[in-house]
Amino acid sequence: MLLTATALSAACAMELRAVLATAAHSARDDALRHTLSEMQQSSSAMRTFGAMLVPRLTTGHLNRDMAEAMVVQGGHISHLVGRLTRKLQPSMPGKVRSVHAATLAAWSRQR
């Protein structure tokens, strides 16, 4: 009886660790996905604003150089965010399974 109780408590502890690890991983992925989305939106806004300013400023105007730099740097940031997103894609699938679904899948594999 004691051996069975020990085995069951060890199995419960392992299951709890797996659930907590899955939840932590999912939370990190969600936070990273949200941050990348915000960076992409910000770089797009910077590029758009710079592109709107460039034709309105005369050549040689001090702010025209700044507007052109906004377009270039916004594009560069957008490119870097895209590369980072592609690198992280295998660990961040588009649909993140719920902790419950992941637990059920892990539990069914153990049987």
Look at residue 69 and tell me if it is in a domain: yes
Instruction: Please give the C-alpha separations between residue 54 and each of 34, 46, 50, 70, 81, in angstroms, as whole numbers.
Output: 30, 12, 6, 10, 24
The domain tally of the chain equals 1
pTM for the structure as a whole: 0.60
Look at residue 60 and tell me if it is in a domain: yes
Domain extent for 83: 38-93
Look at residue 10 and tell me if it is in a domain: no
Measured distance CA(76)–CA(101) in Å, rounded: 39
Q: What is the pLDDT along the chain (111 residues), one digit of tens a residue?
A: 677 888 888 888 888 888 888 888 888 888 888 888 899 999 999 999 999 999 999 988 889 999 999 999 999 999 999 888 888 776 655 544 444 455 445 545 554
- Six-digit token pair at 10? 């060890």
Look at residue 72 and tell me if it is in a domain: yes
